[in-house]
């Protein structure tokens, strides 16, 4: 290395560390500017400071922060001291800041240590670890510099239309990032047809995670106006592509939308309304041939047992599969997961072409200290990532049981005896899941909905019209609803169109944050806050000070 290179590296690291310390003393996060300064001195400083670090990189629309928190918590409990971007600064500058600040003046990483008496592993050549959350659009910039060992893709939904465009643009951005990291093991959501398509035509090995039909309450039992043979073809995803297409054509001649389902212990033949089109609007048609998917079951949004009746593109049997959901409450989730052996990692996406290897499957009880279905998906992703990194599965299982909510994601505060839970929402899929979680609770509560339209949120807030706020109408346990933020009037109008009584809704002016906090602190029942990103920041800061928690940049 030349003297010029050494000087550039030293200046990059020094500027990052100094500016970050200064910003922290000023009670600022210091999550982005230090990284920009470091890159000004040395553009590839991230590649230099991450050399030799085994990195798990987590991306996707929803669940990045929580999945990364699950992984880092498990590693910390096992003594691995991973480097993490806990603050959520997940663009190139934010990731660079974390690595440069944790390096010496020669660019060598300082953080992390080997486990005492750790057995030698030919596939693991370093005792330094990192868990990095990465923005979907930034993956193409971060991945080639970071050279991650594992890339996790949680899911893909419409999000910030003015920034990302339609979801297909996000998909292509993630695909490009993966192509620039051909050595990384991919951990992909088998239930998301968009995410599953990332495994097509890439050399990366893949570990799949997902949720089985046995874990979903509502499953398709019969499809009206089809023959028994057609039902079998559609349910079991069996037969040739032509046979599946013929079955679909038969359904289309009748009424494709009418389903008979079974819920819980009930018997079949209970008619319910078909899934609304918006439920799978992000990925309704096959990414290969454009034919509309047939679903054996849904979990939420477009996730579930998808199958293209024309070309055969379909859900792959997961290596980490949620086989049953045994209970969900405010304190967390109890599930069983089937985990296949590491030798089941493969490169093919079509199930019938899977590599036939002997692998051991274990049915494991898993306790997740966070509630809601989407956190169960996050836990499955974390287990898959741990397996891909060839780390002991028992570590992540123990870590999931003690993981804490992070930075507004199911984060819990107790202030003056009032229970306050904050659930960040930023798109229809995430918001609908948060509402489903609230509607499943029986205890009386206050709901606070917050909406801004700043740069970090996305200026297009039309997504609120795709949220199923109508489900709140019949929920008597939600005593009142407060709306706040720059676009609070839009939320108020949306709730009015959803059919909620105006007397149940109170709009707090955007400038009167103190009045909102006063209403929260004086609540006689638990409070649930659903903010988008920039409304979360001042609210969380006030709540963490009242509850005695650390600043966001401290994790």
- For the chain, helix, strand, coil in percent to 5 are 40, 20, 40
Residue for token pair 């008619």: 271
- pLDDT at site 364: 93
Q: Is the pLDDT of residue 311 over 90?
A: yes
**Is the pLDDT reported for residue 514 higher than 70?**
yes
The predicted pLDDT at position 552 comes to 52
pLDDT beyond 90 at 456:
no
pLDDT in tens, 426-452: 888 889 888 988 888 888 999 999 999
Is there a contact between 436 and 373 (Cβ–Cβ < 8 Å)? yes
Domain ranges (residues) in the chain: 3-198, 214-307, 320-401, 409-554
**Residue 257 pLDDT more than 50?**
no
The per-residue pLDDT for range 164-213, each reduced to its tens digit, is 457 888 999 999 999 999 999 999 999 999 999 999 989 999 999 999 99
- What homologous superfamily is domain 409-554 in, according to CATH? Mur ligase, C-terminal domain (3.90.190.20)
d(CA 408, CA 532): 10
Residues present in the chain in total: 555
Give residue 251's pLDDT band: very low, low, confident or very high (50, 70, 90).
very low
Q: From the CB of residue 456, how many other CB atoms can be counted at a distance below 10 Å? A: 13
Q: What is the DSSP letter of 31?
A: S
Q: Where are the beta strands (DSSP E) in 310-462?
A: 320-329, 332-339, 362-368, 409-415, 418-423, 445-450
pTM of the model: 0.80
Which is more confident, 435 or 113? 435
CATH number for 3-198 (one of 3.40.1190.10, 2.60.40.10, 3.40.30.10, 3.40.50.1820): it is: 3.40.1190.10
The whole-number pLDDT of residue 441 equals 82
Burial of 262 (0-12, 13-18, 19+ CB in 10 A): middle
| pLDDT value for 249 | 45
Mean pLDDT, residues 375-383: 97
Q: Do the two domains 3-198 and 409-554 of this chain adopt the same fold?
A: no
Say how far apart CA 551 and CA 344 lie, in whole Å. 42
| The residue to which tokens 């998808």 are assigned | 306
- Answer for the pair 504, 475: CB distance below 8 angstroms, yes or no: no
């Amino acid at each position: 290395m030349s003297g010029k290179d050494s000087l550039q590296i030293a200046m990059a690291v020094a500027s990052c560390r100094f500016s970050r310390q200064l910003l922290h003393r000023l009670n600022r996060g210091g999550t982005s500017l230090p990284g920009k300064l470091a890159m000004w001195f040395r553009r590839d400083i991230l590649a230099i400071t991450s050399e030799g670090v085994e990195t798990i990189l987590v991306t996707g629309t929803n669940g990045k922060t929580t999945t990364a928190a699950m992984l880092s918590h498990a590693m910390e409990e096992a003594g691995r001291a991973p480097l993490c971007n806990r603050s959520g600064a997940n663009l190139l500058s934010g990731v660079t800041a974390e690595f440069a600040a944790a390096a010496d003046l020669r660019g060598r990483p300082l953080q992390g240590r080997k486990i005492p008496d750790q057995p030698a592993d030919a596939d693991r050549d370093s005792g330094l670890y990192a868990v990095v959350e990465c923005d979907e659009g930034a993956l193409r910039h971060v991945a080639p510099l970071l050279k991650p060992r594992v890339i996790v893709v949680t899911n893909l939904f419409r999000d910030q239309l003015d920034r990302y465009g339609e979801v297909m643009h996000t998909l292509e951005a993630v695909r490009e990032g993966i192509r620039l990291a051909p050595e990384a093991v991919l951990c992909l959501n088998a239930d998301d047809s968009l995410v599953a398509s990332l495994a097509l035509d890439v050399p990366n090995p893949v570990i799949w995670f997902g949720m089985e039909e046995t874990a979903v309450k509502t499953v398709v039992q019969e499809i009206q106006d089809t023959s028994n043979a057609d039902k079998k073809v559609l349910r079991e995803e069996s037969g040739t592509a032509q046979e599946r297409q013929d079955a679909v054509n038969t359904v289309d001649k009748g009424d494709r939308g009418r389903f008979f389902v079974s819920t819980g212990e009930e018997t079949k033949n209970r008619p319910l309304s078909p899934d609304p089109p918006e439920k799978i609007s992000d990925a309704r048609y096959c990414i290969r041939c454009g034919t509309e998917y047939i679903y054996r079951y849904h979990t939420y949004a477009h996730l579930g047992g998808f199958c293209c009746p024309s070309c055969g593109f379909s859900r792959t049997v997961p290596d980490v599969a949620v086989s049953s959901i045994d209970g969900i409450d405010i304190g967390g989730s109890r599930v069983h997961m089937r985990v296949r052996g590491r030798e089941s990692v493969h490169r093919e996406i079509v199930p019938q072409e899977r590599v036939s290897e002997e692998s051991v499957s274990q049915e494991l009880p898993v306790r997740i200290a966070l509630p809601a279905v989407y956190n169960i998906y996050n836990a499955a992703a974390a287990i898959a990532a741990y397996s891909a990194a060839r780390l002991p599965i028992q570590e992540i299982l123990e870590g999931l049981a003690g993981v804490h909510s992070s930075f507004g994601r199911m984060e819990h505060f107790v202030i003056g005896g009032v229970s306050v839970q904050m659930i960040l929402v930023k798109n229809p899929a995430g918001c609908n899941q948060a509402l489903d979680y609230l509607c499943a609770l029986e205890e009386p509560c206050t709901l606070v909905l917050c909406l801004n339209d700043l740069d970090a949120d996305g200026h297009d807030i039309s997504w609120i019209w795709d949220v199923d706020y109508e489900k709140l109408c019949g929920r008597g346990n939600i005593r009142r609803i407060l709306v706040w933020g720059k676009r609070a009037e839009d939320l108020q109008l949306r709730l009015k169109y959803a059919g909620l009584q105006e007397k149940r809704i109170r709009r707090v002016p955007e400038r009167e944050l103190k009045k909102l906090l006063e209403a929260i602190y004086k609540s006689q029942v638990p409070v649930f806050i659903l903010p988008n990103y920039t409304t979360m920041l001042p609210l969380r800061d006030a709540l963490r000070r009242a509850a005695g928690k650390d600043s966001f940049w401290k994790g």
